[in-house]
Structure formats: structure tokens, C-alpha cells
């Protein structure tokens, strides 16, 4: 299992009390290996991964979409995942 690419993403946790709402930002990383994609809570065999796409949101980062046979998963990113997407396309899209 060798690492091809990785990219940071964030997960926002909201805590609501009777007095206030607190947003806690958790820093996480999505990893692209030759046989799987791994996030904090999920692991996808590469054979189940159909594609990745990215949508920028007002120059503040955007949403990284992971398209799988089980559905689409979204990850909030603060920086462009262009290198990550290029690595995926270079290693997997050309062989399909």
C-alpha cells in the first residue's frame, strides 16, 4: 500500500447550548493510495471509486466530491485540490 496523494479537508462540528452556538473546526486529511481512498471515518476500495470532482466556493476553498458506487461523499476544503485530482486522473483514469 503506497501513498499517491493526500489533501487536507475540514469537518465542522456544531455545539449548541441554551446560551450559544459554537463551531469547532476539525482538520483532517483524505489519502489516495494505489488500492483505496481513506478518510477519517471511511475507507473506499479503489474499484468502488468512480471519480473526484471539485467546486470552488467564492475563492474560499470549496467542496471536494468523491463519486463512488455507494454514492457521492463531500469534503470541505480550504485550498484547491488540483494536485490531488491530477494524481487521481494520472494513476487511475488513464487505465480505465
| Domain boundaries along the sequence of the chain | 3-93
SS3 6: strand
Q: Are strands 43-45 and 21-33 parallel, antiparallel or unpaired?
A: unpaired
pTM, two decimals, is 0.88
pLDDT for 93 equals 75
pLDDT for 65 equals 98
Start-to-end Cα distance in the chain: 20
Cell reading at 61: 476553498
Average pLDDT, integer, range 68-85: 96
pLDDT of 11-63, one tens digit each? 999 999 999 999 999 999 999 999 999 999 999 999 999 999 999 998 788 99
Classify domain 3-93 by CATH architecture. Roll (2.30)
Amino acid at each position: 500500500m503506497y501513498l499517491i496523494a493526500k489533501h487536507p479537508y475540514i469537518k465542522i462540528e456544531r455545539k449548541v447550548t441554551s446560551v450559544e452556538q459554537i463551531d469547532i473546526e476539525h482538520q483532517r486529511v483524505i489519502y489516495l493510495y494505489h488500492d483505496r481512498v481513506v478518510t477519517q471515518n471511511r475507507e473506499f476500495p479503489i474499484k468502488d471509486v468512480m471519480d473526484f470532482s471539485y467546486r470552488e466556493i467564492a475563492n474560499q476553498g470549496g467542496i471536494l466530491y468523491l463519486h463512488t458506487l455507494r454514492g457521492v461523499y463531500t469534503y470541505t476544503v480550504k485550498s484547491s485540490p488540483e494536485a490531488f485530482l491530477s494524481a487521481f486522473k494520472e494513476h487511475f483514469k488513464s487505465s480505465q
